[in-house]
Chain A
Amino acid sequence: MPGSWSPSNLPFLTEDNHSIESPRKNRYNCLSWAAGSKRKWWSPIKPYFWPPEAPREATIEAFVRAFETLGYAVCADGSLELGIEKLAIFARTDPAGNLVATHAARQLPNGRWTSKLGPLEDIEHLRPEDVNGPTYGAPLRYMSRVK
C-alpha cells in the first residue's frame, strides 16, 4: 500500500526499507510518537505541548532538552544496544542558513526505527537515514536511555 506522502519529500524510502503501521492522524506527531505518546501534538509553538523545562524553539538543543525530561541523554550513535532505547533527532538548514530541528525517530527493540510523518502515517524503517530528505534533513543527534 503506498503512503500518502509525496516521494519527493522522502526520496530514500523504498518498498524494501519501510512499512506503513498506522492510518494518517492529525492528533500526534513525530515528537510525541518518539516520546511514546499518541495523545498530544508536540511543538515548540503555542498552543501545542512542549515540556516546560525546554526552550520553545526549533533547535537541536531545545529538542535534546525536551527529551532529557524523559530520561534520555545524548549518545554517540543509533546502533542497537540491549536494554537501551534510542532516538534520532533530525535537522536541516533553512534558507537563512540556520539549523532547524525537524523530526525525531525512535528505535524499536528489533533495531528498526519508527517515524510518524507529520500529520500522515507512522512507518517502520530500517535505518534513521531512510527518512532523510528536504523536509527532515538528516539525523544529527542520537539520544538513549535505559529501558
Chain B
Amino acid sequence: MQMQRIVVTSYTGATYGSIRALLSQNRVSHMSITGSPPMNVDDVTTDAPRQPSLTEYQANVVNFEQSLFNSLLTEWHEERGIASSASEMILCPSYQRIIAMGPAAIPLILRQLRNEGDDPDHWFWALEIITGEDPIPEDAYGDTVRMAELWLTWGRRQNAW
C-alpha cells in the first residue's frame, strides 16, 4: 500500500472529513499540520512505504484533531470579537466547525476548559449539542465557573478525557 504524507496548510469544511477518511483507512504514516486558519489539504505526496503501527495511527489522529481544534479556537476568538450575545458567539462558523467535529471534540474541549481555570470560555453550548447531555441546573445558569466545574465532573464520570 502506498503511504502518503499530508501537509495541511489551510482548512475548508471538507478537509476534516477527508483526512479522517484517510486516517481510518490507515493510509497515512506521518502527518504534519502547518499554517494558521483557514487551512486546507493542499499537498499530498507519497511517503515512507511502511504500514504505521496502531500507536502511530492513533497519534496521527490525536495530533490532527488537536491542531484543527487549536486553529478553530484561534479563529473563533477573532470571529466573535466584542459580541456580548452568546447566540452570536456560538453561531460563528469556527465554533460550528468545532461542533461538527463531533465526539472527537469532547476531550479537546474538556481539556481546554480545565486549562482555562477560573475564566472558562463558552464551551457549554458545544458540549450540550455534541453530547446531548445537560448537567447544568437552572440555578447555575450564567455562572461560567460553576458550569465549567459541572461539565468537568461530567467528563470525569464518563471517562471522556
| Chain A nearest CB, measured from B91 CB (Å) | 11
Inside 8 A of A30's CB, which chain B residues have their CB? 84
Instruction: Decide if A31 is an interface residue (CB 8 Å cutoff).
Output: yes
Say which size band chain A's interface belongs to: 20 to 34
| Chain A nearest CB, measured from B120 CB (Å) | 6
Report Cα–Cα, A50/B142, bound state, in Å: 8
Q: Is the CB of B143 within 8 A of A39?
A: yes
| Chain A nearest CB, measured from B139 CB (Å) | 10
Q: Is the CB of A50 within 8 A of B141?
A: yes
Inside 8 A of A102's CB, which chain B residues have their CB? 83-85
Report Cα–Cα, A9/B88, bound state, in Å: 14
Binds A, one of B25-33, B59-67, B121-129: B121-129
Report Cα–Cα, A83/B82, bound state, in Å: 31
Instruction: Decide if B86 is an interface residue (CB 8 Å cutoff).
Output: yes
Considering only residues 51-82 of chain A, those with a C-beta below 8 Å from chain B are 58
Inside 8 A of A44's CB, which chain B residues have their CB? 87
Inside 8 A of B144's CB, which chain A residues have their CB? 26-27, 40-41
Binding site for A on B (CB under 8 A): 78, 80-87, 89, 116, 118-122, 124-125, 128, 134, 136, 140-145, 147
